[in-house]
Amino acid sequence: MKNKYTYVWVSLIVLVFGIIVIPRIIDRIKSGTVVQNDRMNVKDNSGELAYVLLNGKKRRVPEFAFTNQDSLLISNTDYEGKVFVVEFFFTTCPSICPIMNKNLVEIQNEFGENPDFGIASFSITPEHDTPKVLKEYAERYGITDLDWNLMTGDQEKIYDLANAGFNIFAAEVPDAPGGFEHSGMFALIDKNGYIRSRVDKFGNPIVYYRGAITEEQGTNEHGETEQISALKKDIEKLLQE
């Protein structure tokens, strides 16, 4: 008999809850306040800087050692304590490299006087891009920052650095413009040698920054937006860390 009364009371409570609460929920749905509140509760993390992870661990710059445009041996240790940008390019590239290096020259002009900033450019056609060729290329593009090294060396090691070390695609493709194909992305490295990236509004890292679209252009023919303005802001953030 006791259980019977218990069931009756539970049923009455559920009925009262339904009469009072459900109409309010329906009104909120109709007015759109449920959706609005849900949006307000989703944190927009865009603009924050995250670590790029590999198998759950912070991804560091791989070790490297190559010859620069001044015939000096440059390694990853030369960038210790610096915020720097990494790119893969080649001097005879007829497509995206001129845009990429125009963007990097703008970045150089903004941060080049800061001793804690640098740029590392690796040639994917090292047999052609000798130190002499790289030096002429640097002069042609207005590359003046002493911490901007254009590097050449063993092709297999450079390709391994690009594809396995940074996961930035580079390959010899005979049908591609210039005979080689590579990603137009930039990697951003913090003072401790970790690859960093801003995150999107869902908290996911963008990982790399589009280097082949200028700020002036805004978007390319594929509808992709420029990320140079974001890269500049993120360099500034890392310099202040």
* Length of the chain, in residues: 241
Residues 6+ apart with CB under 8 A from 105: 141, 142, 143
CA distance 206 to 227: 10
- Residue 182 annotated as binding site: yes
- Residue 93 annotated as binding site: yes
Answer positive or negative: Cα dihedral of 13, 19, 24, 26. Answer: positive
Measured CA to CA in angstroms, residue 4 lies from 8, 17, 48, 171, 174 at distances of: 6, 20, 58, 77, 83
CA distance 175 to 235: 36
CA distance 36 to 8: 38
Structure tokens of 218? 């805004």
Measured CA to CA in angstroms, residue 8 lies from 2, 22, 159, 197, 222 at distances of: 10, 21, 75, 59, 64
For residue 141, which amino acid is it? Y
Structure tokens of 50? 């995250």
Each as own residue / partner, the long-range contacts of residues 164-173 (CB below 8 Å, 24 or more positions apart, any chain) are: 164/62, 165/61, 165/62, 165/64, 166/62, 166/86, 166/88, 166/195, 168/86, 168/88, 168/208, 170/88, 170/124
Instruction: Specify binding-site residues for Cu cation.
Output: 93, 97, 182
Instruction: Specify binding-site residues.
Output: 93, 97, 182
